[in-house]
């Protein structure tokens, strides 16, 4: 891999960075204009990630952070775990960004310049009247997001280094989400869910889920990172799917902000959506830089670090932004892939270390990959598999021996399913088709959320 930046790249990145720094300095003339500043920081994060990925490729290879590109004629080794670069740049960016959304509050609380000692009179500090104007709860939310993300990034890097066991991996995001859930409990604490109009006569308008709601949020924190990691295995698919989800969430924020009625006191839904944008914009910045190097033919792999990191960003904005149901609506392909994978994930049927599509070196195309069954399955499993294989659009292809026992079946991922349905494809073609499908599903999800929600719910609560 090329480890230096070309002349054009260097100049473009320098120009972009200079423009972003200029914009950031400029925002101080007004109210800090956090959204503009966030955009500029995202530009800087992009430039830094882009350069670091280039410069660090060889260093990563030397540290044995590398992987073989299995779907190529020449299965060359390329740097892996490049998501760690994204995650680190991202964390630094959102840490440096902390003063910006709170700039106005800092000024208001300290009546100028952010210098507490000089301006505030002793008495007001003692009574605490003035500092109470500062939105400590929002800062706590933001800090808890950083803490949860950091824990998950640690898990990701650990997994890339040591290949952690599946059952251990599963629970770490749940523990990582504790800071966030505590803030949710103290700050917001709503565990009621609105009941669809059609069910109101049975359940009432609201149902209080109590602690179950916290279990549900922890489950989202487990699901998001893992679901991205298992919809993987062809060049560019991990980053591209994450970027699509990121764009959809940003569109959802923009729609919600746009639709929020303008009143002197901001609509309660305004703040969470801004919060979500502050976290998503830099995420897009670092992801685009990685995508550039990971798209077919890949020059680097993203590693599990990226998948966990991306998934956790979504879980955090969904939970702290109070729109976890909308988030699930935008993850329909990932949810389908997870449910579809479940028989292999929970070992009802054999699961090999890798389930990515099989590369046919003769045709240069990808074909569905298969798993050999060491022993014939139980009657129930065999019945189920035969049923799935008989659908007009088969959900699995099976191979039987002369006794009619299943000896081999296609791996249960949507990448393979797509190939079963539409035939062998080139790697980039497969990625593009799946991504178009995902984008369409997501746009439909947004439509359902913003246009059709009133059919089911009494009012659009913009949560």
Q: Judged by CB under 5 A, does residue 409 bind Mg ion?
A: no
Rounded distance between C-alpha atoms, residue 135 and residue 29, angstroms? 22
Helices (H), 260-378: 270-294, 303-320, 324-329, 332-345
Q: Which does 80 bind (CB under 5 to 8 A by kind): Mg ion, ligand UD1, none?
A: ligand UD1
Rule CB under 6 A: choose which of 56, 249, 298, 313 binds ligand UD1: 298
Relative orientation angle of helices 34-62 and 7-27, to the nearest 10 degrees: 150
Minimum distance of ligand UD1 from residue 352's CB (angstroms): 7
Minimum distance of ligand UD1 from residue 368's CB (angstroms): 13
Rule CB under 6 A: choose which of 12, 17, 67, 187 binds ligand UD1: 67
Of 233 and 442, the one with the shorter C-beta distance to ligand UD1 is: 233
Minimum distance of ligand UD1 from residue 303's CB (angstroms): 6
Which residues are 406's β-sheet partners?
Answer: 400
Q: Judged by CB under 6 A, does residue 234 bind ligand UD1?
A: yes
Alpha carbons within 13 A on the beta-carbon side of 333: 27
Minimum distance of ligand UD1 from residue 162's CB (angstroms): 11
Are 407 and 400 in contact by the 8 Å Cβ rule? The answer is yes
Rule CB under 6 A: choose which of 220, 281, 313, 356 binds ligand UD1: 356
Q: ω into residue 297 within 30 of 0, thus cis? A: yes
Size of the site for ligand UD1 (CB under 6 A): 20
Residues 235-264 that bind ligand UD1 (CB under 6 A): 235
Concatenated DSSP letters of 407-424: EEEE--SHHHHHHHHH--
Rule CB under 6 A: choose which of 46, 301, 323, 373 binds ligand UD1: 301
Rule CB under 6 A: choose which of 153, 304, 306, 430 binds ligand UD1: 304
């950091």: which residue's tokens? 150
Of 93 and 240, the one with the shorter C-beta distance to ligand UD1 is: 240
Q: Is the dihedral of CA 290, 291, 294, 299 positive or negative?
A: negative
User: Which residue minimizes CB distance to ligand UD1?
Assistant: 67
Q: Judged by CB under 6 A, does residue 33 bind ligand UD1?
A: no
Phi, psi values for residue 400, rounded to 5°: -120, 155
Q: Judged by CB under 6 A, does residue 233 bind ligand UD1?
A: yes
Rounded distance between C-alpha atoms, residue 242 and residue 150, angstroms? 18
């984008």: which residue's tokens? 439
Q: Judged by CB under 6 A, does residue 306 bind ligand UD1?
A: no
Phi, psi values for residue 77, rounded to 5°: -90, 135
Binding mask 371-410 for ligand UD1 (x = CB under 6 A): ----------------------------------------
Residues 83-122 that bind Mg ion (CB under 5 A): none
Residue from 167, 168, 23, 174 nearest 100 by CA:
23
Minimum distance of ligand UD1 from residue 237's CB (angstroms): 7
Rounded distance between C-alpha atoms, residue 318 and residue 220, angstroms? 9
Query: What are the tokens at 247?
Result: 């764009």
Q: Which does 234 bind (CB under 5 to 8 A by kind): ligand UD1, Mg ion, none?
A: ligand UD1
Q: Judged by CB under 6 A, does residue 68 bind ligand UD1?
A: yes
Query: Length of the chain, please?
Result: 463
Q: Judged by CB under 5 A, does residue 69 bind Mg ion?
A: no
Are 3 and 58 in contact by the 8 Å Cβ rule? The answer is yes
Rounded distance between C-alpha atoms, residue 307 and residue 83, angstroms? 8
Q: What is the DSSP letter of 425?
A: B
Minimum distance of ligand UD1 from residue 17's CB (angstroms): 30
Q: Judged by CB under 5 A, does residue 229 bind Mg ion?
A: yes
Interface region with Mg ion, contact rule CB under 5 A, candidates 165-173, 222-230, 259-267, 319-327: 222-230
Q: Which does 67 bind (CB under 5 to 8 A by kind): Mg ion, ligand UD1, none?
A: ligand UD1
Of 361 and 383, the one with the shorter C-beta distance to ligand UD1 is: 361
What b/e readout covers 106-122, taking b as 16+ CB neighbours within 10 angstroms?
A: beebbbeeeeeeeebee
Size of the site for Mg ion (CB under 5 A): 2
Rounded distance between C-alpha atoms, residue 277 and residue 253, angstroms? 7
All residues at 6 or more sequence positions from 243 whose CB lies less than 8 Å from its CB, including other chains: 284, 287, 288, 291
Q: Judged by CB under 5 A, does residue 304 bind Mg ion?
A: yes
Rule CB under 6 A: choose which of 38, 141, 144, 229 binds ligand UD1: 229
Minimum distance of Mg ion from residue 208's CB (angstroms): 38
Of 38 and 227, the one with the shorter C-beta distance to ligand UD1 is: 227
Q: What are the distances in angstroms from CA 416 to CA 15, 246, 334?
A: 43, 25, 14
Residue ranges that bind Mg ion, judged by CB under 5 A: 229, 304
Footprint of ligand UD1 (CB under 6 A): 67-71, 80, 229-230, 232-235, 298, 301, 304, 341, 345, 354-356
């Amino acid at each position: 891999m090329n480890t230096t930046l070309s002349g054009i790249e260097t100049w473009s990145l320098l120009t972009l960075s200079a423009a972003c720094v200029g914009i950031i300095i400029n925002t101080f003339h007004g109210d800090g204009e956090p959204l503009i500043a966030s955009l500029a920081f995202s530009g800087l994060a992009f430039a830094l990630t882009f350069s670091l990925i280039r410069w660090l490729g060889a260093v990563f290879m030397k540290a044995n952070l590398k992987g073989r590109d299995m779907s190529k004629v020449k299965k060359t080794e390329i740097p892996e775990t490049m998501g760690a670069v994204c995650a680190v740049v991202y964390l630094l960016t959102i840490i440096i960004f902390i003063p910006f959304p709170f700039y106005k509050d800092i000024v208001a609380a300290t009546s100028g310049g952010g210098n507490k000692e000089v301006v505030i009179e002793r008495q007001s500090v003692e009574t605490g009247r003035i500092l109470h104007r500062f939105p400590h709860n929002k800062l706590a939310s933001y800090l808890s997001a950083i803490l949860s993300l950091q824990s998950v990034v640690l898990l990701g890097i650990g997994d890339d280094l040591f290949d952690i066991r599946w059952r251990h991996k599963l629970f770490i995001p749940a523990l990582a989400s504790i800071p966030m859930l505590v803030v949710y409990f103290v700050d917001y604490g709503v565990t009621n869910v609105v009941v669809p109009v059609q069910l109101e006569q049975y359940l009432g308008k609201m149902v209080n889920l109590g602690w179950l709601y916290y279990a549900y949020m922890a489950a989202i924190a487990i699901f998001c990172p893992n679901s991205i990691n298992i919809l993987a295995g062809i060049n560019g698919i991990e980053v591209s799917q994450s970027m699509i989800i990121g764009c959809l969430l940003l569109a959802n924020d923009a729609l919600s902000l746009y639709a929020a009625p303008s009143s002197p006191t901001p609509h309660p839904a305004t703040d969470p959506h801004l919060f979500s944008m502050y976290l998503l914009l830099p995420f897009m910045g670092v992801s685009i830089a990685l995508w550039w190097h990971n798209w077919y033919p890949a020059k680097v792999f993203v590693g599990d670090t990226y998948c966990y990191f991306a998934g956790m960003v979504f879980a955090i904005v969904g939970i702290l932004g109070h729109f976890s149901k909308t988030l699930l609506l935008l993850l329909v392909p990932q949810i389908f892939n997870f449910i579809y994978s479940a028989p292999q994930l929970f070992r009802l049927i054999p699961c090999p270390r890798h389930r990515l599509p099989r590369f046919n070196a003769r045709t240069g195309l990808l074909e569905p990959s298969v798993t050999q069954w060491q022993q014939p399955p139980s009657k129930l499993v065999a019945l189920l598999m035969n049923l799935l294989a008989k659908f007009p659009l088969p959900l699995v292809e099976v191979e039987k021996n002369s006794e009619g026992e299943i000896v081999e079946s296609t791996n249960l991922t949507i990448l393979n399913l797509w190939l079963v349905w539409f035939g062998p494809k080139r790697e980039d073609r497969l990625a593009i088709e799946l991504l178009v499908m995902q984008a369409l599903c997501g746009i439909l999800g947004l439509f359902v959320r913003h246009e059709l929600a009133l059919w089911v719910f009494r009012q659009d609560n913009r949560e």
